[in-house]
Structure 1
Amino acid sequence: MREDTEAALKTFEVNTFGRAGILSKLEEKLAADEAVIYIAPTNATVTTTASRKTEKLPGAIALTSKRVLFTYKVLLDHKTISVDLAQVHSVTSSGNSLTGGHIQILTVVNTIDFLVKYKKESIAAIQEAFEAAIAGAKAPQGAGSPDVLAQIQKLAELHTAGVLTETEFSEKKAELLGRL
Structure 2
Amino acid sequence: MRKDIEQALEKFKVNTFGNKKIIEKVEALLRADEQVLYISPTNVVVTAVNTNKKNKLPGVFVLTDNRILFHYKIAFDESTDTSDLSKIDSINCFGNGLTGGHVEVHTRTKTYDILVSYKKALMNEIKNTFEEAINNYTQNKVSGNKESDTDILQQIEKLAELRNKDILTEEEFQEKKQVLMARL
- TM-score for both structures, normalised by structure 1: 0.76
For 1:99 and 1:118, locate their aligned partners in 2 and report how far apart those are by CA, in whole Å: 8
- Deviations along 1:54-77, one digit per CA (max 9) or x if unpaired, are 100000100001000011003213
Mapping of residues 19-168 of structure 1, within 5 Å: 19-141=19-141, 142=143
**Bigger radius of gyration among the two:** 2
For 1:56 and 1:98, locate their aligned partners in 2 and report how far apart those are by CA, in whole Å: 18
Match of 1:2 in 2: 2
Match of 1:175 in 2: none
Q: What runs of 5+ residues in structure 2 fail to find an aligned partner?
A: 145-184
SS of alignment partner, residue 139 of structure 1? helix
Change beyond 3 A, Cα 1:97–1:140: same
Higher relative contact order (CA 8 A, sep 6+): 1
For 1:74 and 1:51, locate their aligned partners in 2 and report how far apart those are by CA, in whole Å: 21
User: Structure 1 counterpart of 2:24, which letter?
Assistant: S
Q: What runs of 5+ residues in structure 1 fail to find an aligned partner?
A: 144-180
User: Structure 2 counterpart of 1:58, which letter?
Assistant: P
- Deviations along 1:102-140, one digit per CA (max 9) or x if unpaired, are 000000110000100111111000000000001111225
Pairwise CA distance, 1:4:
0.3
Percent identity over paired residues: 45
- Deviations along 1:130-180, one digit per CA (max 9) or x if unpaired, are 00001111225437xxxxxxxxxxxxxxxxxxxxxxxxxxxxxxxxxxxxx
For 1:28 and 1:78, locate their aligned partners in 2 and report how far apart those are by CA, in whole Å: 14
For 1:133 and 1:31, locate their aligned partners in 2 and report how far apart those are by CA, in whole Å: 17
For 2:114 and 2:56, locate their aligned partners in 1 and report how far apart those are by CA, in whole Å: 10
User: Structure 1 counterpart of 2:115, which letter?
Assistant: L
Pairwise CA distance, 1:42:
0.3
SS of alignment partner, residue 118 of structure 2? coil
- TM-score for both structures, normalised by structure 2: 0.75
Aligned length: 143
Match of 1:152 in 2: none
For 1:139 and 1:51, locate their aligned partners in 2 and report how far apart those are by CA, in whole Å: 33
SS of alignment partner, residue 115 of structure 2? strand
Structure 1 outlier segments of 4+, above 4 Å: none
